[in-house]
Amino acid sequence: MNFELFRNTFEKHLIFSTYDVKTHFSGFDSKRLVEWQKKGYIIKLVSKWYYFPLFTNQNNSHLLAANSIYSQSYISLQTALSYYSLIPEFIFSITSLTSMTNAVFDTKLGRFTYNHIKPALMFGYKLVEFENPLIRKN
């Protein structure tokens, strides 16, 4: 498989998983992902999640990454306060709430912390969409 076709397929996703790749390209050899990492074409976020290098230059890349790692989560606590400029401090760890187990991931994009809450408390959040810088505009 050639990387140009791969990039054109996944650039709109910003972050993609090995599941996404195998869904689009049946029979895809995962050794390609390792090869493309070595060449610097893609970067591994955490197990089974990848992104393109241009993605790291975007203002909200860390927020999208946090939601991708644990899809049943939402940005909360100090991270949300910082996003809405309600606190002046710089946040070093992205904190999210999840109905799944607690977890911490240290990645090239930063530290992602997930704190467990009861599923009944997973409400009161809104989806914020970001412009995708990797989609070419004609």
Whole-number pLDDT of residue 70: 87
Of residues 11 and 37, more confidently modeled:
37
**Average of per-residue pLDDT across 101-130:** 88
- pLDDT bin (cut points 50, 70, 90) of residue 21 is very high
Instruction: Flag whether pLDDT at 138 surpasses 50.
Output: no
Of residues 133 and 9, more confidently modeled:
9
Task: Name which of 127, 130, 72 is nearest 101 in CA terms.
Answer: 72
Read off the pLDDT of residues 45-72 as tens digits, 9 standing for 90 and up: 998 999 988 877 667 788 888 988 888 8
Indicate the residue type of 103. Answer: A
**Average of per-residue pLDDT across 32-40:** 95
Q: Which of 13-17, 59-63, 79-83 comes out lowest in average pLDDT?
A: 59-63
Q: Which two tokens stand for residue 43?
A: 């970067």
Cβ density class 43-75: b for 16+ within 10 Å, e for less: bebbeebbbbeebeebeebbbbbbbbbbeebbb
Of residues 100 and 83, more confidently modeled:
100
d(CA 18, CA 46): 11
Average pLDDT, the chain: 86
Q: Which long-range contacts (CB under 8 A, 24 or more apart) does 110-113 make?
A: 110/62, 112/65, 112/66, 112/69, 112/70
Residue with tokens 């709109």: 12
Give percent of the chain above pLDDT 70: 92
Indicate the residue type of 16. Answer: F
3-state secondary structure of 10: helix
d(CA 29, CA 21): 10
User: Taking the domains of the chain in order of start, what are their residue ranges?
Assistant: 3-55, 60-121
Q: Which two tokens stand for residue 56?
A: 């790291």
